[in-house]
Structure 1
Amino acid sequence: MPDRRPEVRLGEYESAELGPDQLTARDLDRLNALQARGCLTLITARAGWRLKAEATVGVLALDRVRLLIEPKFAIPGEQLMTWLAYALHTPVPTAARRWSTAPDGYADLVAAALLEECEKLLREGLRRDYVRHQSLEPVLRGRLDVAAQATRRFGQLDQLHVRTFDREADIWDNRVLGTALKAALGLTTDSRLARSLHGVADAFPDSGTPATALRALERTQYTRLNARYRPAHTWARLLLRGGGVSDLLTDHGTTAGGLLLAMPALWEAVVRRLATDAATPHGGRPVPSNGGTGITVRGDLGSTSTFRPDLLLNLPHPGMDHHTLLPIDAKYKRYDRHGVSAGDIHQLLTYSAGYTPAEAPSAVIVHPQPGGYARRTLRIGSPQRGLGVIHVLGIDTHAPPERASAWMRTAYNAAQQPPCRPAR
């Protein structure tokens, strides 16, 4: 059944007042855990509690109320699912409609995306594989379990312990989807969507707990036999982890009983794909920024620390036979309205000093800029010499991601410098 608890609606970076009777002791534990992870801020107010959302959107199902945090800053509601699907390398679902069309916003849209992929799998036919069973049969079927027959039946042949292998749909590829569909039922407020989810969930086997399903997803290897399951598994993982995706987005919702998405982590994933897609046609490729290619700090108290840009690209130099490295960092900040902070300038200068040639140090900041593209160049220098160049790129989040990738291809030319030493 869809959830009918009272709804409290606010946008990211906005605040809402909650009465003292709206939060239980368990709710306070959940909110404090999310506050420790930087998702929100909860402070005591004269009339109860004041809750301030940070760079997190989604639904938070508490005991007595449901918090709905809408995207306000960078990616508008009508584009959130499009950019999320782009970051996840999955097809854009028809559920990628305006945020406001779904009473529960993001949670309903993700549930609808999962439903769409599961319905597609049902139309095509669920994958079946051989499943091993041990059973007691009146006739020989499969292979006789000699050890079990001798120790349990003591030579009697009226019933036989047999081992069989039958092709069934009760395999992990399908079980995780059954678990995710049932989890989605607890998040949606739309009665029609809830009915559809319930109907489709009955066609899938259930793996039991979300933790069991997540462990199975982490072990899943995709081949030509189950490649068509990848989009459905992507949305299932998002739901089961409460808003995070393994190795992509940070999981902030597992203790909250909701579906929360960390927008800075989403933006980092978007920028990594945008920059890679823009560089690939020119022969560029991402390279690791850890291990032997990492920037490390040694000799201080404690363990060795590391500086890692969000993306490090190996780009061919125009007209030359060698490549140069270009560090790129994603910043989920309003750099369309104010200047780049001193901390971010120091960080990017470290990247440029560590990865780019000494005679032409450069780095790139990519930030969201709703409604248009922008490019500006920061030149940092001292009385003795130039210290580096930082290219600040604003990406139009009102446009489709593919258009933004095409615009970034033109921005790479400005970020590349005259001939310099080849990158290793």
Structure 2
Amino acid sequence: MPERTEIRLGEYQSARIGIEQLTSRDVDRLHALQDRGGLTLTPDRTGWRLKADATVGVLILDRVRLVLEPKFAIPGAQLMRWLAYALAAPVPHQATARPWATDHDGYADLIAAALLAECQALLRDGLRRDYVRQERLEPLVRGRLDVAAQATRRYGQLDQLHVRTFDREPDIWDNRVLGTALKAALPLARNPDLARALHQTAAAFSHAPTPGAALRALDRVQYTRLNVRYHAAHSWARLLLRGGGVTDILADHGATAESLLLAMPALWESVVRRLVSQAAAANGGRTVPAGGATGITVRGDLGNSSTFRPDVLVSLPARDTAQPRLLPVDAKYKRYDRQSVGADDVHQLLTYIAGYAPDDTPTAVIIHPQPGGHTHRTLRVVGPARTLGTIHVLGIDTHATPDEAVTIVRSALR
């Protein structure tokens, strides 16, 4: 196959692609991703116009290798650190720390390297084994004799016996899903040393019949003291096998296209939820559900009722009363380090304030990514008779560590 043409795009940028560069299968894949909100493909007079949305990653097509870069220019090591934090997986190894903005290996190599490092660590410590039922033909009774098979296949001959045994083998689902993910990472890897290591390591693992079977096994897995060391490797395997899910980083939407794409707003929301949860716990509070009986519902209009739901709702102890106060927090994946908060977001936060915040402290929080330093500014919405609400706009430095970010969020919540 000829070398694929590489096209690089930032979030919300567009590029023209010649009609000869996309096969019919490529067009079907891109339209499937368009249906999920990851990008937009429109025809023009001489070919196609491709526009990226808030999605980053690598998309491998038949003749094109599309690299979608984040608008915040997050270095590779930091992108992986925040991704690991959002997935509650251990911080990746040094092998994954490649500069995202300049390295031509792209984002997929980062995930593949993280998976490879975890799998190699498992091999060094020894793969988990469990009892596996097997049907064998043996010269003596070992396990349980399969009487029906012996009578119908050997016709009374006793030189070979059909037996059923239970032996401790590494051919179990914990290992199969990793072998399948290592194999799936091979077409994504551009670095030849990485590709060689993936191939060698994949040979040491058994494989699932299909990637779909591996994903179903990952959905069923429950971690105990016997397999908890597999958790990190399974997190990277799940991300690779679900490559192409562009509306939820943890949901499989079926449009894989041999790619690895992440919806950055969903990733940022996951980061903010964990940051706020840890910060609230440090302040003696906790996160509470923002739906059901505690939801904000609009009724009486045409059609079904609608709801307003903040990304995180925090319950914090009040100083002068035993009744805890509620604080709505919303994650915004926007460049609020360069622009003012939009009117739509102000209206949205005022709705949360009216629904959740106490009258004496009508407060809400916006948390957005900000490269180069933490920021904290305060918006006050004032009416002719009273103050309608206070919105704290908190910028989290994406170049900082998650622990540092938790400290900043904790101070804001206090």
Once residues 37 and 74 of structure 1 are traced to their aligned partners in structure 2, the CA distance between those partners, rounded to angstroms, is 24
CA distance in 2, matches of 1:45, 1:261: 27
Give the alignment of 1:5-404 within 5 angstroms.
5-73=4-72, 75-93=74-92, 94=94, 95-100=96-101, 102-149=103-150, 157-242=158-243, 244=245, 249=250, 251=252, 254-318=255-319, 321-404=322-405
| Residue 400 to residue 252, structure 1, CA distance change in 2 (3 Å) | farther
* Distance in structure 1 (CA, Å) of the matches to 2:248 and 2:164: 39
* Equivalent pair of 2:39/2:53 in contact (CA under 8 Å): yes
Tell me by how many angstroms 1:350 deviates. Answer: 2.0
* Percentage of identical aligned residues: 69
Say which is worse superposed, 130-139 or 327-336, in terms of deviation: 130-139
Q: How far did 1:295 drift?
A: 2.3
CA distance in 2, matches of 1:392, 1:250: 29
Maintained 8 Å contact 1:55/1:264: yes
Q: TM-score, normalised by structure 1?
A: 0.90
Can you give the 5+ residue segments of structure 2 that lack an aligned partner in the other structure?
Answer: none
Q: Which one is further off, 14-23 or 354-363?
A: 354-363
The answer to whether the 8 Å contact 2:244/2:254 transfers is yes
1:120 deviation in Å?
A: 0.3
Q: Which deviates more from structure 2 when the two are superposed, residues 192-201 or residues 285-294?
A: 285-294
**Helix, strand or coil for the counterpart of 1:86?**
helix
Quick one: structure 1 residues 136 and 312, their matched pair in 2 at CA, closer, same or farther if it must change by over 3 Å? same
Q: Which moved more, 1:247-256 or 1:165-174?
A: 247-256
Question: Which whole-Å deviations, capped at 9, do the CAs of 1:232-285 have from their partners, x for residues lacking one?
Answer: 000000000005599754556734321111110111011111111222222222
Quote the Cα distance in structure 2 between the aligned partners of 1:346 and 1:89: 33
Q: CA deviation at 1:97?
A: 2.8
Stretch moving more, 189-198 or 96-105: 96-105
* Shift in Å, 1:148: 4.2
Q: 1:215 to 1:249 in 2, by over 3 A?
A: closer
Count of residues in Structure 1 that have an aligned counterpart in Structure 2: 412
1:247–1:14: structure 2 CA closer, same or farther, 3 Å change rule?
closer
1:154-192: CA deviations, max 9, x gaps?
655444332211000000000000000000001111111
Structure 2 equivalent of residue 416 of structure 1: none
Give the distance between the partners of 2:109 and 2:196, measured in 1 at CA. Answer: 13
CA distance in 2 between counterparts of 1:117 and 1:216 reads 19
Q: CA RMSD for the aligned pairs?
A: 2.3
Cα distance change of structure 1 residues 253 and 17 upon mapping to structure 2, 3 Å threshold: farther
